[in-house]
């Protein structure tokens, strides 16, 4: 899956807020929940929940569905997966850097013999 | 769950002071994190990472607690841009002794704050990010060959 960077940015902005991450977790555990039901599970007002859900919906992370007079919300995993993939790329870059730090740190301090040996 | 945060660590069979040199001295940083580097090691000091192919990337040192902790903000993926609180991520290194070894933990946070909604810039970002992963493979090999 190839994520457009713009999509990834939107998702990361949405996820930068700890309450929105908790909201996503709550929604994963209780699919098809309404804003009112979510407000009962989290320590914020229904109004705040609605605002957060709007941000998550714009980022493509949740989907609103009308069900009679209720609006139910569900997690859309596709965007999360493409963002997770992008973050794995960033994490892999750090793994490479840390490995390089380890190699440099564990190498004996230079003297001429070692340098010649290293380059042979 | 995806978070706006990367956390990685590694255990190095070397004293903490040695690892500190490698993460703070320009001659070393310019091998594991760039083809050359400049490090002005003081709070507010500038960090520059250069790649011939990708350009110069800027950072700003936030906090130094030798030899335990180092943090800086930098602008990943976008060359020639100086970091502000709005366009950068925060990179934090924590070095913890474990017997004769050192545990190195790196945490990078704030990806959600990076510049966005500018398609051209976003494209550039993606190109650089992809380029980097490949480049880092090269760097790792380069670091292996180098005398310390």
CB of A1 less than 8 A from some CB of B: no
List the single best residue of B54, B75, B147 to mutate versus A (max A Cβ within 10 A).
B147
pLDDT in tens, chain B (148 residues): 456 788 999 999 999 999 999 999 999 999 999 899 999 999 999 999 999 888 999 999 999 999 999 999 998 878 899 998 888 899 999 999 999 999 999 999 887 766 544 443 444 444 444 433 443 344 344 334 444 3
Distance separating alpha carbons of residues B74 and B85, to the nearest angstrom:
10
Apex B27 CA angle, B21 and B28, nearest 5: 50
Kindly determine whether residue A94 and residue B108, on different chains, have CB atoms separated by under 8 Å: yes
Q: Are A60 and A76 in contact (CB under 8 A)?
A: yes
pLDDT at residue B53, rounded to an integer = 86
From B12, B133, B136, residue closest to A101, measured CB to CB: B12
Size of interface A-B (CB pairs under 8 A): 135
Segment A31-40 shows an average pLDDT of: 92
Lowest mean per-residue pLDDT among A46-60, A90-104, B18-32, B77-91: B77-91
Kindly determine whether residue B145 and residue A119, on different chains, have CB atoms separated by under 8 Å: yes
Apex A23 CA angle, A4 and A44, nearest 5: 135
Reply yes or no on whether the pLDDT at A6 is more than 80.
Answer: no
CB of A29 less than 8 A from some CB of B: no
Q: Are B19 and A101 in contact (CB under 8 A)?
A: yes
Segment A40-50 shows an average pLDDT of: 94
**Interface confidence (ipTM) of the complex:** 0.73
From B31, B122, B148, residue closest to A110, measured CB to CB: B148
Kindly determine whether residue B8 and residue A98, on different chains, have CB atoms separated by under 8 Å: yes
Q: What is the nearest CA distance from A54 to chain B, expressed in angstroms? A: 17
| Residue B22 CB partners (closer than 8 Å, separation 6+) | A101, A104, A105, B28, B29, B32
Residue in B117, B34, B130, B15 with CA at minimum distance from that of residue B77:
B130
Minimal-distance CA residue of chain A relative to B109: A16
CB of B74 less than 8 A from some CB of A: no
When mean pLDDT is compared over A43-57, A103-117, B122-136, the highest value belongs to A43-57
* pTM check: above 0.80: no
Cβ contacts of A84 on chain B, cutoff 8 Å: 2
pLDDT at residue B137, rounded to an integer = 42
* H-run or E-run covering B126: helix B119-145
From A13, A24, A103, residue closest to B143, measured CB to CB: A103
């Amino acid at each position: 899956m190839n994520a457009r960077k713009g999509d990834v940015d939107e998702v990361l902005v949405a996820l930068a807020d700890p309450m929105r991450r908790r909201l996503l977790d709550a929604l994963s555990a209780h699919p098809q929940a309404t804003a009112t039901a979510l407000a009962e599970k989290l320590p914020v007002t229904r109004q705040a929940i609605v605002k957060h859900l709007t941000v998550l919906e714009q980022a493509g992370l949740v989907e609103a569905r009308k069900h009679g007079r209720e609006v139910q919300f569900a997690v859309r995993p596709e965007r999360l997966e493409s963002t997770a993939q992008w973050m794995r790329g960033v994490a892999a870059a750090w793994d490479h850097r840390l490995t390089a730090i380890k190699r440099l740190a564990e190498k004996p301090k230079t003297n001429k013999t070692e340098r010649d040996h290293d380059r042979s | 769950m995806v978070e706006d945060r990367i956390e990685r660590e590694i255990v190095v069979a070397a004293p903490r002071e040695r690892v500190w040199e490698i993460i703070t001295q320009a001659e070393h940083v310019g091998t594991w994190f760039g083809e050359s580097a400049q490090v002005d090691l003081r709070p507010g000091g500038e960090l520059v990472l250069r790649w011939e192919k990708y350009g110069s990337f800027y950072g700003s040192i936030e906090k130094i607690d030798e030899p335990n902790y180092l943090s800086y903000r930098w602008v990943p993926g976008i060359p020639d841009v100086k970091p502000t609180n709005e366009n950068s991520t925060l990179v934090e290194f924590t070095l913890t002794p474990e017997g004769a070894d050192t545990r190195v933990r790196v945490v990078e946070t704030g990806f959600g704050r990076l510049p966005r909604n500018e398609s051209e810039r976003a494209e550039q970002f993606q190109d650089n990010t992809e380029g980097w992963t490949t480049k880092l493979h090269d760097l790792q090999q380069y670091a292996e060959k180098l005398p310390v």
